[in-house]
Amino acid sequence: MLRALLLIGLAGCINQVQNAINPPSSGGNSGGTLTCAQIVETCDSTCTDPLCLHGCTSNGTPDAQPKHDALLSCGERNGCADEACIRASCPTEVDACQGPPPPTGPTNSPPAAPDPAPATS
Residue 3: burial class (beta carbons within 10 Å; 0-12, 13-18, 19+): exposed
Instruction: Place 103 in a pLDDT band, splitting at 50, 70 and 90.
Output: confident
Residues 58-75, mean pLDDT to the nearest whole number: 96
Residues 51-64, mean pLDDT to the nearest whole number: 95
Instruction: Place 20 in a pLDDT band, splitting at 50, 70 and 90.
Output: low
User: Mean pLDDT: which of 18-22, 30-34, 102-106 is highest?
Assistant: 30-34
Domain ranges of the chain: 31-99
pLDDT at 23 over 80: no
What CA–CA distance (Å, rounded) separates 91 from 48? Answer: 22
pLDDT digit string, tens, across residues 73-85: 999 999 998 899 9
What CA–CA distance (Å, rounded) separates 57 from 5? Answer: 33
